[in-house]
Amino acid sequence: MYIFTEQELRQHISLNHEALSVVEDGFSSLAEKKAVMPPIMRVDVHDHNGEVDVKTAYIKGKDKFAIKVSSGFFNNYQLGLPSGSGLMMLVSATTGVPEALLLDNGYLTDVRTAAAGAIASKYMAKEDIHTVSVIGCGSQARYQVKALQLVRNFKRVIVYGRSPDRVAAYVKEMTEELGVEVQAAESAKEAVIQSDLVITTTPASEPVIKAEWLHPGLHITAMGSDAEHKQEIEADVLAKADVLVCDTVAQCERLGELHHALSQGVISETRSITEIGELTSRKVAGRQNDEQITVCDLTGTGVQDTAIALFAFQEMVNRGLGLKIENKKPALKN
C-alpha cells in the first residue's frame, strides 16, 4: 500500500498537457462505453453544514481505479480551515485490493476539474479569443484560467466576485501568474458582455449569468453546480445555446444547470445534448462556426478521478516517492 501526501502531490503533479490528456481519455472512455461509473454517493451532515461525496469509475483495461472521497463543510472558515478536503484511493481492478492512498486534500480534484474546463473550451470555444471572464475568485477561478492557457491564447481576464478583498487578491496574484492583463469587473454583466469565454466557478444557488447578456461566439463553462440546489446560469442560457454539452447528461439532469432548465421546462427532454466524451472521442463536433453560442455544464465525474489518480500514481512511483506500508492480506487459508 502506497501513501502519498498532499505536499508531495502538489510538488510533483502539475496541471499540464499530460494531465489534460489523461482526463480527455477518461471522458472518451465514457463515450466509448468503456467505463463503469455508478451514481455519486452523498452523505449530508446538516448538523455541521457539510456534505461528503464519493465518486468512482472503473475504466476497462486499466489495472486500477479510483474511489474518491471529497467533502465540503461550509462552516470550516470559522475554524480557519478551507471548506474542501478529501482523498483518493486506488483499488486493483484485478484483485480488489486497495493499492494506494493519495492524501491530496482535494488538490487532484482541483486539477482534474480545471482540466475538464480546459477540455470543454478546447472543443467548444472559438479558436481566437481575446477576453476571458471568470465569475468567482476561489481556487477554481485560478485553476480554470491557468488550465485554459494550455488550450487557448488570450490577452485579458476579467474577474467578478462579491468580496472586493478577494477580487483584489485575485487580480494581483493572477496578473503575475498568467502574464496577461487581469481586471476586476463591477458586475457579472460587465464581465460577460466583454468576453469571448466565461467560466463560472461559484457555489451560487441563484443564477449569476443572465440569458440577455449572451452574444454571438460566446462560450460558457459552468462548473460550479454539483448539487440539486445550486445554479449559476439562468435556465434560458441553456435554451439559447446552439451547442449544449454536459459531462454526463444523467448527472447534469440531477445536479447541474441542466436540472433547472428541465425542471423549468425551458428545454425539453428530447433536445439533443452532447456529452463531453463525444467531443474528446471525436464522435460529435463541438463548435461549428464563430457565431454559435456554446455552453458546457460540468458536475464532476468519477472517470476524471480515476484518470488523474492513475496519472498521479504513475508519476509518483516513477520518481520513487511515497510511503510504502506492508499490509498484505495473509494468503488464503480455507
55 is known as an active-site residue: no
**Secondary structure percentages of the chain, helix, strand, coil, to 5:** 35, 25, 40
Mention every residue, 6+ apart, whose C-beta is less than 8 A from residue 248. 30, 37, 275, 299, 301
> Cα–Cα distances in Å, from 130 out to 137, 181, 277?
20, 11, 27
Binding mask 223-262 for a copy of itself (x = CB under 8 A): ----------------------------------------
Total residues interacting with a copy of itself, rule: CB under 8 A: 64
Taking the complex as a whole, the smallest distance from the CB of residue 200 to a copy of itself amounts, in Å, to 17
CA angle 23-311-2, nearest 5°? 140
CA dihedral 202, 27, 131, 106 (to 10 degrees): 40
> Is 105 a residue that touches a copy of itself (CB under 8 A)?
yes
> Which of 96, 164, 179, 320 touches a copy of itself (CB under 8 A)?
96
- 179: alpha, beta or left? (left if phi > 0; alpha if psi -120 to 50): left
Measured between alpha carbons, how far is 183 from 133 in angstroms, rounded to an integer? 9
Name which position in 47, 127, 176, 269 contacts a copy of itself (CB under 8 A): 47
Determine which residue in the list 19, 22, 23, 58 makes contact with a copy of itself, applying CB under 8 A.
58
Closer residue to a copy of itself (CB): 76 or 183: 76
Give CA separation, 162 vs 85, 174, 183, 331, in Å: 24, 17, 14, 58
Among candidate residues 68, 122, 126, 230, the one labeled active-site is 68
- Give least dist CB 281 to a copy of itself, A: 20
Task: Decide: residue 235, CB within 10 A, 0-12 exposed, 13-18 middle, 19+ buried.
Answer: buried
Q: How far apart are CA 81 and CA 75, in angstroms?
A: 9
Query: Which of these segments, 2-10, 187-195, 200-208, 248-256, binds a copy of itself (CB under 8 A)?
Result: 2-10
* 87: amino acid identity, one letter: L
- Least distance to a copy of itself, CB of residue 287, Å: 33
**Contact code string over 153-192 relative to a copy of itself, x by CB under 8 A:** -------------x--x-----------------------
What is the C-alpha R_g of the chain? 20
By CB under 8 A, name the binding residues for a copy of itself: 1, 3, 5-7, 36, 38-39, 41-45, 47-48, 50-52, 54, 56-58, 60, 65, 67, 69, 71-73, 76-77, 79-87, 89, 91, 93-98, 101, 103, 105, 137-139, 166, 169, 323, 325-327, 329, 331-332, 334
